[in-house]
Structure 1
Amino acid sequence: MNRNTLSFIALAVSMLFGAGFASVPEAARGGYAAVGGVVVALLWIASGRFGRPDTASPRR
């Protein structure tokens, strides 16, 4: 999968976790933040590590 697609997925999940934070009850926010942080970090690392560069545009 190319890097642009993985970055978009990571951005979308980051935004969904951030928006979902408001709907989580006060008592569960600590766990939600911890799990969300791990998931988002793994997605961003995966996009940089496993994403293939876009081959459509030649590098100069």
Structure 2
Amino acid sequence: MSRKTLAYIALVVSILFGAGFIVFEESRGTYAIIGGAVVAIAWISVGYLGKPDEPDDAPRDRI
């Protein structure tokens, strides 16, 4: 999957996490821990699973 698509999904997850604080007023502590982990995993997946969009984005060998 391209990085742009994964980044968009991670952004949407982050926005929904922030908006969810309005919905889950009673259990904010649990929501913050679980939601924070989901958001972190979403952004980490952008870096690890995202395929480079352009050849310039590919890692380079250092000599």
TM-score (norm 1): 0.85
Alignment size in residue pairs: 56
Match of residue 54 from structure 1: 53
Q: Distance in 1 between matches of 2:25 and 2:47?
A: 33
Q: Distance in 2 between matches of 1:48 and 1:16?
A: 21
Greater C-alpha Rg? 2
Q: Cα distance, 1:16 vs. partner?
A: 0.3
Percent identity over the alignment? Answer: 57
Match of residue 37 from structure 2: 38
Q: Distance in 2 between matches of 1:31 and 1:54?
A: 36
TM-score (norm 2): 0.82
Superposed, which structure 2 residues align to 1:1-40 within 5 Å?
1-26=1-26, 28-40=27-39
Moved >3 Å (runs of 4+): none
